[in-house]
């Protein structure tokens, strides 16, 4: 049954994970191959796993670990890992070759260009995914046609145009923009590189999710290097749920004897996974409307059905919240305790830390905290999935306290 902490506009559902069988899609073996592919991309560097020891002590948990994707390939977000892998798989499929057998340079060669001909990639995006696809197209000498929902921040449009992508900002919400993009691609013979799936369109979204595994492979190895065996709690923010599905799929498989507690977070106005969870029958549900939230990357109303199946099986808690939680996360990460590192987190990257602040420090969240067993034994893993991709809003949040905390006393 869903519960509400009405004073703070937070709803959550705790469920007992079913621990069903874990799809092969996220095997350790494949994750190594994906990492091998990313390592050959120009500019590859593993992103940092930031350990906030003083914050962990202050909030009464063993570890707070933040996998900081804000620096991934200099593109401000993790998304390029999925887009680049999917585009490369698509090219390899056209060429009839195995991705393991080629160098990235080969894919950019004239020989390949001659064999595959002129290719245009098309996608709908709230910013980060389109930036990753435009970057991959630029690297490979392909065209990119990018559709964005209404209200998209100018900086996010510019971040795509500067990689040569053609951008159209629509008058539609995210999900209708996905449909528009798919229609235009059909009419024009473009290749859709979308991170959500529908009937008959499953390979590319699956490749995108597999591309995200590099984050987990790096994070687990960095954790072990720092003497932390495993995460006990993993907070994951979700839009269509592809990112969360990949993280849960990989980690549940890797730690199958002692599965971490997975917590999925969404904005109140775009909580399609939460709505699916409360329906209780294991089927995905859509939400509609303009999906308005500062967490632009999470403003999606229709779950990725493949990701949803994984989340339904393995997630312990679905939770949705208002924008102030994300804004608090931004402020906390940018202003660390003495001795901790500061982290630039964008609106979709910071929500987990904003939420842990409430759980750790606010008696109204005591029941939830206890149900999730958040305490001195908890190794908590977060993903800062983006940096300040809307710098104006980021500054307003930090400098002028936009979206003020509802817990300010
Ligand atoms: C920064 C950021 N975080 C998280 C997500 C959520 O990913 P997904 O839509 O796969 O759930 C997105 C999606 O665009 C994003 O841009």
- Whole-number Å distance between alpha carbons of 271 and 120: 32
Residue nearest to atom 15 of ligand 1 (CA): 297
Domain boundaries, the chain: 3-78+207-400, 81-204
Q: Taking CA 346 as the corner, what is the angle to CA 344 and CA 352, rounded to the nearest 5 degrees?
A: 95
Q: Compute the average pLDDT of residues 113-138.
A: 96
**Separation CA 49–CA 64 (nearest Å):** 10
Residues in the chain: 409
79 part of the active site: yes
State the catalytic residue, choosing from 11, 67, 68, 79: 79
Pairing mode of beta strands 191-192, 120-124: parallel
Query: Ligand 1 center to residue 111 CA distance, Å?
Result: 35
pLDDT (tens digit, 9 = 90+) per residue, 272-288? 999 999 999 999 999 99
Three-class secondary structure of residue 233 per DSSP: strand
Instruction: Say how many Å lie between the CA of residue 116 and the centre of ligand 1.
Output: 30
381 lines ligand 1 (CB under 6 A): no
Q: What is the mean pLDDT of residues 163-191?
A: 98
pTM: 0.97
Our answer to whether residue 32 is catalytic in this structure is no
Whether the CB of 386 sits within 6 Å of ligand 1: yes
Q: Which architecture, in CATH terms, is 3-78+207-400?
A: 3-Layer(aba) Sandwich (3.40)
195 in contact with ligand 1, CB cutoff 6 A: yes
H helices within 22-117, ranges in order? 28-39, 53-59, 80-95, 104-107, 110-116
Same fold, 3-78+207-400 and 81-204: yes
Ligand 1 near 128 CB (within 6 A): yes
Q: What percent of the chain has pLDDT over 70?
A: 99
Q: Evaluate if residue 407 carries a pLDDT over 90.
A: no
CATH architecture of 81-204: 3-Layer(aba) Sandwich (3.40)
| Candidate from 174, 348, 351, 382 with most ligand 1 atoms within 8 A of CB, to mutate | 348
Gap from CA of 244 to ligand 1 centroid (Å): 9
320: tokens are 């949705």
For residue 95, pLDDT beyond 90: yes
The pLDDT of residue 107 is 93
């Amino acid at each position: 049954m869903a519960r509400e902490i009405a004073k703070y506009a937070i709803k959550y559902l705790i469920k007992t994970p079913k621990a069903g069988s874990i799809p092969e899609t996220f095997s350790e073996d494949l994750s190594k191959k994906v990492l091998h592919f990313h390592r050959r991309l120009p500019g590859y560097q593993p992103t940092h796993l930031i350990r906030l020891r003083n914050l962990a002590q202050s909030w009464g948990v063993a570890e707070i670990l933040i996998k900081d994707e804000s620096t991934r390939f200099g593109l401000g977000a993790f998304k390029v890992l999925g887009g680049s892998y999917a585009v490369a798989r698509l090219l390899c499929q056209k060429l009839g070759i195995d991705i393991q057998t080629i160098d990235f340079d080969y894919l950019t060669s004239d020989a390949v260009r001659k064999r595959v001909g002129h290719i245009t990639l098309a996608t709908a995006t709230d910013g980060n995914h389109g930036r990753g696809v435009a970057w991959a197209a630029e690297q490979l000498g392909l065209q990119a046609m990018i559709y964005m929902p209404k209200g998209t921040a100018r900086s996010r449009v510019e971040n795509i145009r500067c990689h040569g992508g053609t951008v159209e900002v629509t008058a539609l919400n995210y999900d209708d923009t996905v449909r528009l993009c798919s229609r235009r691609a059909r009419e024009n013979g473009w290749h859709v590189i979308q991170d959500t799936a529908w009937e008959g369109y499953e390979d590319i979204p699956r490749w995108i999710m597999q591309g995200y595994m590099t984050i987990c492979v790096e994070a687990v190895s960095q954790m072990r290097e720092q003497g932390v065996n495993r995460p006990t709690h993993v907070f994951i923010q979700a839009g269509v749920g592809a990112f969360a599905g990949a993280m849960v799929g990989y980690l549940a498989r890797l730690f199958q004897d002692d599965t971490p507690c997975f917590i999925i977070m969404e904005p109140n106005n775009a909580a399609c996974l939460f709505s699916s969870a409360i329906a209780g029958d294991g089927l995905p549900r859509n939400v509609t409307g303009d999906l308005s939230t500062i967490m632009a990357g999470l403003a999606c109303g229709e779950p990725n059905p493949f990701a949803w199946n994984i989340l339904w099986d393995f997630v312990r808690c679905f939770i949705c919240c208002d924008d102030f939680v994300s804004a608090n996360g931004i402020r906390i990460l940018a202003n660390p305790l003495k001795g901790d590192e500061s982290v630039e987190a964008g609106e979709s990257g910071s929500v987990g830390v904003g939420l842990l602040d409430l759980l750790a420090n606010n008696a109204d969240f005591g029941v939830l905290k206890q149900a999730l067993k958040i305490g001195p034994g908890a190794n908590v893993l977060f993903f800062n999935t983006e940096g300040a991709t809307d710098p104006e809003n980021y500054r307003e949040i930090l400098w002028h306290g936009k979206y003020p905390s509802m817990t300010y006393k």
